[in-house]
Amino acid sequence: MIIIGELINGTRKKIAKAIADRDEACIGDLAKRQAEAGASFIDCNPGTVGEDEIRDIQWLIETVQAVTDVPISFDTPNSVALQAAFGAYENAATPMINSITAEQERLDEMLEFVAQSGANIVALALSDAGMPASADDRVETSLRLIDTLTGAGVALDRIFVDPVIAPLSTDATCGCAVLEAVRTIRQQRPEVHITCGLSNMSYGLPERKLLNRVFVAQGIAAGMDSAIMDPLDAQMMATICAAEAVAGRDEWCMNYIQASRDGKLTQ
């Protein structure tokens, strides 16, 4: 499972303050703990706009790469901030762009840069029609994005398609639709990565972590191999380990048994 650690996000109050205060200890600690917990990428979302966003994402990248070699996910819709992020990035490991969408104007603006960057890319199944309404919508937009990216020279295994989760509290069919989309995309493009912003599923509902865990187990069975999530959630990490064993991605359950010996599965 390729985990994109979501905790350094300036839309969270505590993180916004740490960014504004240039609190290296807070951000560095959060980066290190996510890396130690198993994050494959550390997402950095400044949560600001304009000139601030450019300065903030550069500072976040400098701060995170000072404490860990785990590659960074540049989380901004702003193409100028994105280019600044690449300018600040000095790590050898290939970073992630989070994200591009199928919204035509934004795609036209970003495609060439994104393709030539050599980075991994989260490709969000949002089009000019807005949020996808069905499994078919998700599949159609995802495949169109994948084909556009590969047409521009991006290898399939650099693409992390995200079929877009809506809150279950507003759309009871969203869980089924996303899982069906994941299965279809996995069948039609076996080599692409499939990720999700997991916690969107449970927005507005109680016991959110329980719903997120249930969904990750179902998503892994459907063919998801990545998630944008909190790697410090030990129960979630244990669920992923078990789901990979059940999905046959852990021969003889060796990882699962080792995780148990390491005390990582205790609930």
Residues that bind a copy of itself (CB under 8 A): 168-169, 172-173, 175-176, 179, 201, 205-207, 209-211, 213-215, 217-218, 220-222, 235, 238-239, 242-243, 245-248, 250-253, 256-257, 260, 265-267
**Of residues 6 and 244, the one with the C-beta less far from a copy of itself:** 244
Minimum CB distance to a copy of itself, residue 222 (Å): 7
**Of residues 5 and 175, the one with the C-beta less far from a copy of itself:** 175
**Of residues 92 and 170, the one with the C-beta less far from a copy of itself:** 170
Give the whole-angstrom CA distance, residue 200 versus residue 196: 9
CA dihedral angle for residue 171, residue 176, residue 177, residue 180, rounded to 10 degrees: 170
DSSP string covering the chain: -EEEEEEEETTSHHHHHHHHTT-HHHHHHHHHHHHHHT-SEEEEE----HHHHHHHHHHHHHHHHTT--S-EEEE-S-HHHHHHHHHH---SS--EEEEEEE-HHHHHHHHHHHHHH--EEEEEEEETTBS--SHHHHHHHHHHHHHHHHHTT--GGGEEEE--PPPTTT-TTHHHHHHHHHHHHHHH-TTSEE--BGGGGGTTSSSHHHHHHHHHHHHHHHT--EEEE-TT-HHHHHHHHHHHHHTT-SGGGHHHHHHHHTT-S--
**Of residues 89 and 215, the one with the C-beta less far from a copy of itself:** 215
Minimum CB distance to a copy of itself, residue 20 (Å): 35
Minimum CB distance to a copy of itself, residue 76 (Å): 30
Minimum CB distance to a copy of itself, residue 223 (Å): 11
**Can the peptide bond before residue 99 be classed as cis, meaning omega within 30 degrees of 0?**
yes
Minimum CB distance to a copy of itself, residue 3 (Å): 17
**Of residues 69 and 207, the one with the C-beta less far from a copy of itself:** 207
Minimum CB distance to a copy of itself, residue 45 (Å): 26
Minimum CB distance to a copy of itself, residue 188 (Å): 17
**Of residues 123 and 201, the one with the C-beta less far from a copy of itself:** 201
Give the whole-angstrom CA distance, residue 28 versus residue 131: 34
Q: What type of residue sits at position 181?
A: A
Minimum CB distance to a copy of itself, residue 182 (Å): 10
**Of residues 150 and 218, the one with the C-beta less far from a copy of itself:** 218
**Of residues 142 and 239, the one with the C-beta less far from a copy of itself:** 239
Give the whole-angstrom CA distance, residue 197 versus residue 131: 14
